[in-house]
Every structure is written in C-alpha cells, then in structure tokens.
Structure 1
C-alpha cells in the first residue's frame, strides 16, 4: 500500500511540475502576395468604392478631392481594420475623414495562411469623387 501511495505521489509531482508547451499566437502581419486565401471586402471592391464615395459625400468633401487616393491598413483576424494610413498628399482633415470612413467599414473576410486566419497588410487604391 505504501508503494502504491508513493508511486501515486511521484506521478502526481511529475505531472504537476512538468513543463507544458503553450501555443503562441501568430501576430505576424502577412503580405497579400503569399497568402492561401486573400482578404476580401464583402461584396467586392466595387461595393467598397461605392461605400467610401457615399460616405465621403456625406462628410461634405464631394468636390474637394477627385482621383486616386492610396490607403494602407492591416486587416485583423476578426476582419476589422487597424493602422489605417492615407498615402497620397491629402489635407489632414480630409485624410482624417477618409480614415474614419475606412475604420467604419463592415468587417472584411480575413486572409488565411496554412488554414489559419492571419493579419494582413493591405494596400488599396481608392477612386474618390467619381
């Protein structure tokens, strides 16, 4: 009986003090070029441009900017956008309005790499005022 109790205590102590391997969450930001599944806006890029232009009109900048504006942002694992930046020369208030519009977008379908949802750096040319 003493041997059984000693063995049980030995196995319990081994189990209690053994190291466990924790899975580290992949927070790397991937480029769209090497992904298995690229992120996409629900409805496609045409719907995205229509949404941005409509929101831009509502913000009162209808005739202020016409042409292409480049935005860069990270599409998170949940489909939300972060680190939104406007890359073209745009006045700060107009750039801030575009950033708010992009942040208010519905969630994207996130990108996947090796079957796992990943963060993706996305560059987007926006056609404004057309």
Structure 2
C-alpha cells in the first residue's frame, strides 16, 4: 500500500512539470481571457501546411516599388487565432519595409479561418508566428 502511494507521488512529481510545459500563456492574458503561446494541439490552416504555402503563393502581392528596389527578405508576422479559428491582432514582429510589411499583414488578415489550437481537447485562443518570404525573381 505504502509503495503504491509513493509511486503515485513520484509519478505525479514528474508528470506535473511535463504537463505544465506543454502549454504557455501570453503575458497579455487576463483571468477572463486566456491567450496561449504554446498549446497541446497547434492551430492548422485548412488543408495543412502545403495548402498554407499554396494560399500564400496565390494571394501574396509583392509591392512593385519594393520589387523594383530589390527589397527582399523574410517578414515575421504574429497573429491570434481565436477559438472559432478567425484571425485577429495581426502584427509584424520583424519586417523589411513599410510596404512589404503592410502586404504581409493584408495577406494574413485575409486568410480563411484556421482550425483552432487546443488545450485538453478544447479550442483556445492562441498566438501563431508565421515567416513570409519575399524574394525578387
């Protein structure tokens, strides 16, 4: 009897820190509105990553002035995917130029709803970071 209680306690001590590390909340969270940065099940673009790549290539418009100037690189965008999968709070984490950054924001904001992230099987609000490449061909 005593051994099984000890084993349960020891297993709990290992499981709790591991479980706690599977999810993280954002500093902007409040008790009535929790926003996650790390979830157990990541949000997913409808059709997966290959469809996301296809969506980006079909909908991203390289600004002509930026293209003519040879501006290229990677824009890092952060956005919230809410419990319903809608995109909110789109912002640039690291940009290239105002016109390229604005195009990245426009394209992300126009995306269809995603499958939301989940914690313990429940849909949650969570942030997602997406790098978008701009390259002159």
TM-score (norm 1): 0.66
Alignment-derived partner of residue 46 in structure 2 = 42
CA contact (8 A) 2:74 2:96 kept: no
TM-score (norm 2): 0.63
How do residues 41-80 of structure 1 correspond to structure 2 at under 5 angstroms? Answer: 41-57=45-61, 60=64, 63=67, 65-80=71-86
CA contact (8 A) 2:85 2:114 kept: yes
SS of the residue corresponding to residue 57 of structure 1 reads coil
RMSD of aligned residue pairs (Cα, Å): 2.5
Distance 1:70 1:80 in 2: 19
Give the 3 Å change call, closer, same or farther, for CA 27–101 of structure 1 in structure 2: same
Distance 2:121 2:97 in 1: 41
Distance 1:119 1:81 in 2: 10
Whose radius of gyration is greater, 1 or 2?
1
Deviation of 1:119 (Å) = 0.3
- Deviations 1:83-126, CA, capped at 9 Å, x for gaps: 11112232223212211110110110001111211001111122
SS of the residue corresponding to residue 50 of structure 1 reads helix
1:108 is aligned to 2:132: no
Gaps of 5+ in 1: 1-24
CA contact (8 A) 1:56 1:62 kept: no
